[in-house]
Structure 1
Amino acid sequence: RMTMTSSNNSVLNAQFNLWGDGGNRPTVIELGDDQGWHLYSQRNPDGSIQFVVNGQVIPDNYGNFDARYLTSGNVYTKGESDNRYVQNIQRGAPVWPGKVDEYGPAEAPAGCFLTQARHDPTTAYGVTFAYRPLQMWVGNGWRTING
């Protein structure tokens, strides 16, 4: 049984159409109005069904979006997502590696960068260096980059 009602205060006329083209779209059930189609359901030649909306779908109830649609490890909540990216960067405390009687350190340690070079007449080359670790805020805390 099928029932249709109208309160007659709609601004546009609506149409409910059943049609097919005998080829790629053998059976189409379509709803539209004077300005165009809203949605349709279509049986494809292979027997599958396609449901198409001309606009945005806004569910009233998300209860059917359960574990069948969420593969473990492929979906994150907002909180989980926020804990996965860098939100800020800062320099850590300076480290003075000590005086060396050679032309400075060859390289700052992994995850660190040179921040100061200054004259020191008590070394053979007259220079001392300082480096700092590079730190990033991820999730809920600072983490030092490890190289």
Structure 2
Amino acid sequence: MSYTSQTDIGLYEPVDGAKVDFATLKYMAALSRHHAHDCLVDAFVRSGISQSELAHRVGYDKSRVSRLLNTPANLTVETLGEMLFAIDGSSPVYGCKNYLREAPRNQCEPEWLAIPQGTLTKHNVVMSSAPGAARQVKKFTVRAPK
């Protein structure tokens, strides 16, 4: 069976007759949920109303409103529409964005952010997050050019 996605990191154009990789589909679903959640949270913050007031307006429990504002996991299109209207009378506007036709993000960094060649050194640091548990973390530091 052939797949649209490749084994390396990145998104690829769907190909006729090829199945889109499961992980790619889940990534795009999560990206869509996060965009919708960002829209909801931005409208809520701009409105200045409290979570209690929003819960009263939309007829949800305060705990449900808190969950919806804190995580995109349970946000449906219907819930997004109800919440946005209850916040400020707005409605979601949907559009499509083709991430495959944009320049890759990691190649769009400003020149001042680029690390000069030969200035990156690696150090191994051991960190512990709980008593008796330790994990090795790679730490990179940038040296000033000579």
Fold conserved between structures, TM > 0.5: no
Task: Name the structure where strand makes up a greater proportion of residues.
Answer: 1
Rg: which structure is higher?
1
TM superposition score category, shorter chain reference: under 0.3
